[in-house]
Structures are given as C-alpha cells and as structure tokens.
Amino acid sequence: MNAPRRRLHGFVAVLGSCGLLLTACAAGDLRQTPAGALAAAPAVGAAGAVPAELARYYGQKPGWKACAGVPSFQCADIEVPLDYDHPEGGDITLAAIRQKATGSGAARVGSLQMNPGGPGSSAIAYLLGNADSFSPAVRAAYDLVAVDPRGVGASTLVNCATGTPAAAPDPGARRADIGASAAAYAEVAAECRRHAGRLLPHVSTLDAARDMDVIRAVLGDKQLHYLGFSYGTYLGATYAELFPSHVGRMVLDGAVDPALDGYDFTIGQARGYEVAWKSFAADCATRPDCPVGHSVQEADRILNTLVATLNRTPLRQGKDITVTGDSVLGAVVLGLRSPAWEALRAALAQLRAGDTTAVQALLGVDEESDPGDQSYYAVSCLSSTLGTWSTVAQAQAALPDFRRAAPQFGAYYAGTLPMCTQWPVRPDQSAHPITAAGAAPILVVGTLRDPATPYPWAQALAGQLSSGRLLTWDGDGHTAYHQGSTCVESAVDDYLTQGQLPPSGTVCV
C-alpha cells in the first residue's frame, strides 16, 4: 500500500501487513487453540435490532467539523463502549475523518469505510494520503470515511509506555537466539499489562467489528460499504460474520484466511516471501547490473552469504544504527511487499559495497515513531489466527519445518512464534472458516505473488464466504487495488459504484 505510515521497526512492519498452509507442525502444541478462546464468533445483532443498552451509541450525532490543516476533510469523535457486554463500564473514543461525496442524488451510494491493515495501521493516515487515488466515480458515490480502530492511532490508544517503538524484538537477535526474542516479547507484555491492562481485553477484532456497525448507523447508512486491505480483510470478514444482513458492497483485498491458526499463518507468510523473492530474483537476473547475480540460485546464495556475514559481524553506520543480517532480511521483506524492486536492487548493491544507507531507508529508520503504541501486539494476540503462542522449545522445534518451507525467510519468521506466549489476555476469536451466510456479494481480491497475504488465502476466503467472488491479479507486491492495474481498478470501481461483480474466474494481467 502507498499509505503514509508511522515508523514500525523491524519485523512488525513486515508481519503487520499480514499466508499459505504448507506443512504440519512438528511441535503439535503449536496447533492447539489457547485456553479460553471461543469456538466461533457470536452472531451479534444479525437481525438488525439494537440492544437497548447500546441505543445511545447507535443514535449519537457526532459534531463533524473541518479538520485542522486539511479543510477538505471533516473530523469527529465517536463514542463506543469499552466493553460491549457491560456498556455501563465506560466509554472509549474513536477518531474519525471523512471526505464528503462529490455527487448527489442517484449517484450517491453512501459512506465507504476503510481499513488499511496492520493491525495497528492508522486508517486516518491512509485516507489522508490516498484520497486522491480514488476515481472520480467512487468519490462521487461515497463519503470516504476512515476511523482509527480502538487501540490504534488517534483513537483511544494502547499505550504501554515501553519507551521503544511498536516493534518486535531486535531482529538481529532473532535468527541466532529465539530465547532472546521470546524474552523481549515478554518484556513488552509485562509493560502492557502494567500500563494498559484495562484496555487490553477490549481491542480485539470482534470489538472493532462491532464498532464498525455503530459507525455505520452513526453515518446514517442502512448497510456497511467497506474497503479492507490485508488485516482489514480479516476485520471485514469478521463484520460480515457478525452482521451479515448489514453488509453492503464489501471489497477485501489481500485476504487473510481466517481458518488458519497462528502457526500456519506465520509459516505461510514465510513461504509467501520466498515466492516473492524468487520473482524478484528472476527479474533481477535479466538486468546486467543485478547485484545478486544472474540466476535465482545465485541470488539465493548471495543473500544467504550477506545475511550470515552480517549476523556474525554487523555494520554500524549513521545514527549508531547497527545493520545485521536479519536487518537485511527485514529490508528485503519490505522491498518485496511494496513492491519496490528498484530500491531493493539499489540497497543490495550498496550493501555489497559496505554501505547500509539504502537498507536503512527501506527499513524507515529516519521516520518518526510512537514509542508507546503496541496496538499490533494487543490486537494480534486476541486472535488465534493472527497471534502465535509457542514456547521457546516449541519454536526451536519448528525451525526445521520453517527452513524447509522457506530457506531464505523461514528462520526469520520462526522468531515470532513466541510473540503472544506471555501476553496477559487470551484470544477471544478462534481460527475458523467464515461463511457469513446471508451477506450481500463480497468481492475478494488476490494477487498471485503477494508475499504478505499469499494468493491461496484469497482463494480460501472467497471459497468460505457464501457470497464470495474472487478477482485475481497476475502481479507482484502486497494487495492489488491502486497498484497500477487498470483491470483491477475498473473491476473494483464497477462493483463499488454499480454493484456489478466481475465475471467468475476473472484474472487481470
């Protein structure tokens, strides 16, 4: 995505983009749903009735006013209960912005809510940076609406006061020492328990989906029209499961398969980046100045050598930033995700000459960060699909499977397996297929060589949804809409503006 993003150091910038069922886990406990996880999401409000205790939220009238510094947008705060099961327990605030539709009358469909992914990415920042990317037809049909989910961005924030950016542990330690990685995750969990404990049980995807229905009503829409990318597809599918009769025109681009558990999610994503690396390397091999050789096999060897060398002897250049082999893998992952192949070629060429400047640029080391925001962990660990709960021993036992699945990226991703093991709140959402029976048609968009949400996930979600329709893009990089494909743009825009789905089996090239 081209959304402007706050700095997300190291691995969270990668994993937060949200793979691919590949192989059984040698450590069987990794596949067990953590104690306390629900068997399935409850169907809340499917018939459209608003419980009396929530009526004041659904009926609120936010005070929209011009946003400071961006007068073409309107800003407002929306109140939602901290705990939907006990709404008397207090409120939290969701920050919202919108850009009013340019059309009126029959041309206007309603409001288009959107989420760029993460979890933890700001929807507000995405819309501010990307509103002009929407076609005139879409901008005529919809008020473009972005609300930072609970726990994220300008909404009531998961602030753990950790003093470090929202990131996984130092990637330099991950490959060599899963134990050190697990200890760093445990430290983040302890700080979040100490500083944000009251909020942590209430920032799940289920909660955010219920918020979306409140927002739908507050905006005056009978149905929710929605555009979700990456994690935003998981959020959208969850909404469709909870409120199938409220689904309007929904586009899920870069799909997460909700039936995967955290282990399969993680190993699948490692395989997804392996596929993307091979595509990059094959393209690079056709160029005379390719910094990683002239075959995929040579590129694999050169990358492995760079990573091993820098893990043994890291480079320290500029602002006292240390670049390790796993830092290089992080930069490669981000370059594949964008995709930013030209920048990645330049970074690898400089790195082979001993210069880490371009690698640092890919990692975003010069961007600002919020040292207290740990919303990525807080949301992920409440979902059995997104969060991983292995012990150090289990993660180490899984390493051979990860290396077989993805020789270049497997060990790097295995380091995240202990991410949630010490998290203070257990999941409230289990891994399970989502059918959303009774929902209006839902358009799922998949990219053949998407590294972060591999194409089989899109196939799986479209197949699970009772009204799913798959649109395929024969492309590279993470997500398809607004990535340069006229075919994808037209298909998505026709659906959003006219309700017209692309023919079954459509592949955009």
- Given a cut of 70, is residue 41 above it in pLDDT? no
- Position 66 scores a pLDDT of 97
Q: What is the C-alpha to C-alpha distance for residues 347 and 331, in angstroms, rounded to an integer?
A: 9
User: Given pLDDT bands bounded at 50, 70 and 90, which one contains residue 467?
Assistant: very high
Contact between residue 377 and residue 419 where contact means Cβ atoms under 8 Å apart = yes
Q: What is the C-alpha to C-alpha distance for residues 481 and 79, in angstroms, rounded to an integer?
A: 31
ω into 339 cis (within 30 of 0): yes
Q: Give 214's Cβ-side CA count (13 Å radius).
A: 30
Q: What is the C-alpha to C-alpha distance for residues 486 and 158, in angstroms, rounded to an integer?
A: 39
- Amino acid letter for position 215: I
Residue whose structure tokens are 């640092």: 360
Query: By mean pLDDT, which of 48-62, 320-334, 367-381 is the weakest?
Result: 367-381
Contact between residue 402 and residue 415 where contact means Cβ atoms under 8 Å apart = no
3-state secondary structure of 196: helix
Contact between residue 424 and residue 387 where contact means Cβ atoms under 8 Å apart = no
Residue whose structure tokens are 């930033």: 321
Q: Is 155 a residue of the active site?
A: no
**What is the mean pLDDT of the segment spanning 6-27?**
28
Active-site choice (428, 450, 476, 493): 450
ω into 119 cis (within 30 of 0): yes
- Given a cut of 80, is residue 21 above it in pLDDT? no
- Given a cut of 90, is residue 468 above it in pLDDT? yes
Q: Is 474 a residue of the active site?
A: no
- Position 107 scores a pLDDT of 86
Structure tokens at 330: 């992080």
Query: By mean pLDDT, which of 209-213, 372-376, 460-464 is the weakest?
Result: 372-376
Q: Where are the alpha helices (DSSP H) in 389-429?
A: 392-405, 410-414
- Of 235, 247, 250, 199, give the one whose Cα is nearest residue 123: 235
Q: Is 450 a residue of the active site?
A: yes
Q: What is the 3-state secondary structure (H, E, C) of 339-396?
A: CCHHHHHHHHHHHHCCCCHHHHHHHCCCCCCCCCECHHHHHHCCECCCCCCCCHHHHH
Residue whose structure tokens are 């799909």: 255
User: Given pLDDT bands bounded at 50, 70 and 90, which one contains residue 253?
Assistant: very high
Residue whose structure tokens are 């800003």: 75
- Of 148, 142, 147, 94, give the one whose Cα is nearest residue 249: 142
Active-site choice (9, 202, 246, 478): 478
- Domains of the chain with bracketed CATH: 53-157+199-261+432-508 (3.40.50.1820)
CA distances from 263 to 33, 162, 166, 246, 406 (A): 11, 27, 22, 32, 14
Share of the chain above pLDDT 70, in %: 86
Describe the strand order of the beta sheet including 91-99 as a list of residue ranges.
65-67, 70-81, 91-99, 142-147, 110-115, 224-229, 247-253, 442-449, 468-476, 507-508
pTM for the whole structure: 0.90
Contact between residue 62 and residue 96 where contact means Cβ atoms under 8 Å apart = yes
Structure tokens at 367: 């961007």
DSSP letter at 62 equals: -
Strands 315-316 and 322-323: antiparallel
Q: What is the C-alpha to C-alpha distance for residues 404 and 38, in angstroms, rounded to an integer?
A: 32
- Position 225 scores a pLDDT of 98
Active-site choice (17, 181, 230, 390): 230
**What is the mean pLDDT of the segment spanning 375-384?**
97
pLDDT digits (tens, 9 = 90+) for 131-174: 999 999 999 999 999 999 999 999 999 999 876 555 444 433 44
